[in-house]
Chain A
Amino acid sequence: MAQSEQTHPPGLLVLKDIDKTYRLGNLSVEALRRVSFTVFANDYVAITGPSGSGKSTLMHLIGCLDTPSSGELIIAGQRVSDLDPNQLAEIRNRRIGFVFQQFNLLRTMTAVRNVELPLIYAGVPKQERRERAITLLERVGLGNHLQHRPMELSGGQQQRVAIARALVGDPSIILADEPTGNLDSHSAAEILSIFEELNQSGRTLVVITHDANVAAKAQRILTIRDGQLQEAS
């Protein structure tokens, strides 16, 4: 991993000529074509585009859930485009904080246990896990709901638990995929204001959305169309 030792990386997230081609039998579908952009530390970037444009594919690549067919992907100075599944799992654990449209909380676990989950895979001791999880739940305004299970929480509350979970491992990038897609407008506004606060306190956010109102909160908007990037600031 020579790239990880390169002198001071220019950006936190660097994509260079990323191609992603899916093979469906004999048919090959080009989901992304020569996508290049850089996200710097403390950026707040929105990636938008109509459905089928390739924004989900892009989100999977940035989230290290998938690897590009060609091109280079660098996160926090480390080239991740050709890592094996175990190394990718480690990158996801340390560098990425996911926020999903469906919240994706484990229904059998309390809020605090859900938030602890990334730290379990990072091997953080129990006491520290618990403390960090509680601190973050308090920060998203759920200090009184530590022992509630997802079913006992509203959608907005569940998404706040998910944000606490995304933050708990102190990742380089918060990667949100349609974070307000399942929320009423009031809860959505709450979530977006939390994002803004996070950005002001130095966090780097990448939000994938098709909602123009959500995208409008970002400092930069990247638009994907037919697998190609059209940047408009």
Chain B
Amino acid sequence: MTWGQLVSSAFEAIRWNRLRSLLTILGIVIGIAAVMLTVGLGEGAQAKVSAKIASLGSNLLTVTPGSTTSAPGVRRGLGSASTLTMANAAALASHTVAPAIAAVAPITTQHATLTNGALNWPTTVEGTTPSWLTIRSRAIEAGRFIDSQDIKSSANVVVLGALSAQELFSTSNPIGKVVDVGPLPMTVIGVLAPIGSGTSATSNQDDIAIVPITTAQGSLVGTTATDSIQSILLQATSSSTLSAAYQEANHELMMLHGITNPANADFTITAEQSLFSAATSISATLTALLAGIATVSLIVGGIGVMNIMLVSVTERTREIGLRKALGAKPSDIRRQFLVEAAVLGVTGGLIGAALGLLGQLVLPGLIANPVSIPPLVTVAAVAVALLISLVFGVYPAARAAQLSPIDALRSE
């Protein structure tokens, strides 16, 4: 008997018992759809987190003063020797010292009120260098960003975040206008493109004002240690060199700060990605749990197929006897029932995959979570359905093949 004949006669047998066949494959349908949606939800969550990380700037490390220890509490480095300085930032920017670090942006942060005539708006003022724009993966919407000339001359210029610009200037063009940053009048030279408030883990990234770091240190900060900075942003050359960049920065800063015992470090380097690692691992746990449930439902589906195949073998004992009398070998009978199980499994798998893909379209609208099912998963799901039905079809098929033709023909 050829495979084509086997498959077409399997379809015939399945069509003959349409309702029962449908109920049989229901377990597989649900299992496959559940597995696909679980994977899709996991992938979707992963993509969402990746997008979040990318919005903060990719391959980003942040150096902050002070350090956390395993014991409760925070150790703060005090005094000029242990504070992050412009010299530290300059040292890390050297490609010979830290080849894995692509760009460095020293940052000072303070809160100030911006005033444009009668309108005022309290916001975060960051003093930094031109590389901030690329490290943070930000873009300019209008005008220009601060440049090295502004740094050199401590120019009184400011770049506004989209929200700050809107609050101060409404719809009119702010470029070239003067706003008071705290007590200092500064010329607006550019506006940042908005990235949306929902994408930040901590604060609204559009509610910001950027000034040259030299301006911030010289005029805005009221401390004597004008060289000190609040943090240093580092960008690794790629995601694979992120840990190398971490090591280089750590080593160099320990040396510069004269620290030999890593436990005494007066600074902390954090990867922005690590902010999300907890969230990611929670979603991974959830995904594993859901996948476990889905797998159980697939196995139950497989047992359903076995159950119905066993019933079918019993019901069709006479047919098996007849086929044997007409010349079917045990292997012919075994193949016939295996192919029937396989056809059931693939049909269930295809229906389940279709439901899964439908869910991919419908679910995001209902649960506000992205669902993205990789095409390979769809193919794998159908293959798994086939595999399960074959595994659970082996026993009933073997039983059918071993029936004695006499007993089989005699059965009523």
Interface residues of A (CB under 8 A from B): 60, 63, 65-66, 85-86, 89-90, 92-94, 98, 100, 104, 106, 108-109, 117-118, 120-122, 165, 169
| Residues of B296-353 contacting chain A, CB below 8 A | 318-319, 322-332
The docked-state distance in angstroms from the alpha carbon of A100 to that of B324 is 14
Residue of B nearest to A63 (CB): B325
The docked-state distance in angstroms from the alpha carbon of A65 to that of B326 is 10
Contact B327 A104 (CB under 8 A): no
Of B5, B12, B318, B405, which contacts A65 at CB under 8 A?
Answer: B405
Contact A122 B318 (CB under 8 A): no
The docked-state distance in angstroms from the alpha carbon of A104 to that of B12 is 18
Also in contact, A121 and B12, with CB within 8 A (given A60-B406, A104-B322, A106-B319): no
Also in contact, A65 and B327, with CB within 8 A (given A104-B322, A109-B12, A121-B1): no
Query: Which 6 A-B pairs give the minimum distances between C-beta atoms?
Result: A93-B327, A121-B327, A89-B329, A118-B326, A104-B322, A65-B405
Residue of A nearest to B1 (CB): A120
Of A86, A94, A169, which contacts B329 at CB under 8 A?
Answer: A86
User: Which residues of B are found within 8 Å of A108, using beta-carbon distances?
Assistant: 12-13, 16
Cross-chain pairs A/B with CB under 8 angstroms, 9 sampled: A86-B329, A89-B324, A90-B327, A92-B327, A93-B327, A98-B325, A117-B323, A121-B1, A121-B332
Shortest B392–chain A CB gap in Å is 23
Instruction: Decide yes or no whether B409 CB sits under 8 A from chain A.
Output: yes
Residue of A nearest to B17 (CB): A108
User: Which residues of A are found within 8 Å of B409, using beta-carbon distances?
Assistant: 65, 100, 104
Residue of B nearest to A94 (CB): B327
The docked-state distance in angstroms from the alpha carbon of A23 to that of B25 is 42
Interface residues of B (CB under 8 A from A): 1, 5, 12-13, 16, 318-319, 322-332, 405-406, 409
The docked-state distance in angstroms from the alpha carbon of A66 to that of B332 is 19
Q: Which of A65, A100, A117 has the most CB of B within 10 A?
A: A65
The docked-state distance in angstroms from the alpha carbon of A65 to that of B5 is 25
Residue of A nearest to B332 (CB): A121
Contact A122 B327 (CB under 8 A): yes
Residue of A nearest to B316 (CB): A106
Query: Given A89-B332, A121-B332, 19 other A-B contacts at CB below 8 A?
Result: A65-B325, A66-B406, A85-B330, A90-B327, A90-B329, A92-B324, A92-B325, A92-B326, A93-B327, A98-B325, A104-B325, A106-B319, A117-B326, A120-B1, A121-B326, A121-B327, A121-B329, A165-B326, A169-B327
Shortest B325–chain A CB gap in Å is 5
Residue of A nearest to B321 (CB): A104
Shortest B411–chain A CB gap in Å is 11
Main SS of chain A's interface residues?
A: helix
The docked-state distance in angstroms from the alpha carbon of A121 to that of B1 is 6
Residue of B nearest to A95 (CB): B327
The docked-state distance in angstroms from the alpha carbon of A141 to that of B12 is 27
The docked-state distance in angstroms from the alpha carbon of A155 to that of B379 is 49
Shortest A128–chain B CB gap in Å is 14
Contact B329 A85 (CB under 8 A): yes
User: Which residues of A are found within 8 Å of B327, using beta-carbon distances?
Assistant: 89-90, 92-94, 118, 121-122, 169
The docked-state distance in angstroms from the alpha carbon of A99 to that of B118 is 107
User: Which residues of B are found within 8 Å of A118, using beta-carbon distances?
Assistant: 326-327
The docked-state distance in angstroms from the alpha carbon of A117 to that of B9 is 11
The docked-state distance in angstroms from the alpha carbon of A94 to that of B327 is 8
User: Which residues of A are found within 8 Å of B12, using beta-carbon distances?
Assistant: 108-109
User: Which residues of A are found within 8 Å of B332, using beta-carbon distances?
Assistant: 89, 121
Shortest B248–chain A CB gap in Å is 73
Shortest B203–chain A CB gap in Å is 70
Residue of B nearest to A126 (CB): B5
User: Which residues of B are found within 8 Å of A90, using beta-carbon distances?
Assistant: 327, 329
Shortest B315–chain A CB gap in Å is 12
Shortest A59–chain B CB gap in Å is 10
Contact B330 A65 (CB under 8 A): no
The docked-state distance in angstroms from the alpha carbon of A94 to that of B332 is 16
User: Which residues of A are found within 8 Å of B1, using beta-carbon distances?
Assistant: 120-121
User: Which residues of B are found within 8 Å of A169, using beta-carbon distances?
Assistant: 327
The docked-state distance in angstroms from the alpha carbon of A180 to that of B326 is 20
The docked-state distance in angstroms from the alpha carbon of A209 to that of B405 is 20
Residue of B nearest to A175 (CB): B325
User: Which residues of B are found within 8 Å of A60, using beta-carbon distances?
Assistant: 406
User: Which residues of A are found within 8 Å of B326, using beta-carbon distances?
Assistant: 92-93, 98, 117-118, 121, 165
The docked-state distance in angstroms from the alpha carbon of A94 to that of B326 is 9
User: Which residues of B are found within 8 Å of A104, using beta-carbon distances?
Assistant: 318, 322, 325, 409
Shortest A54–chain B CB gap in Å is 14
The docked-state distance in angstroms from the alpha carbon of A213 to that of B159 is 114
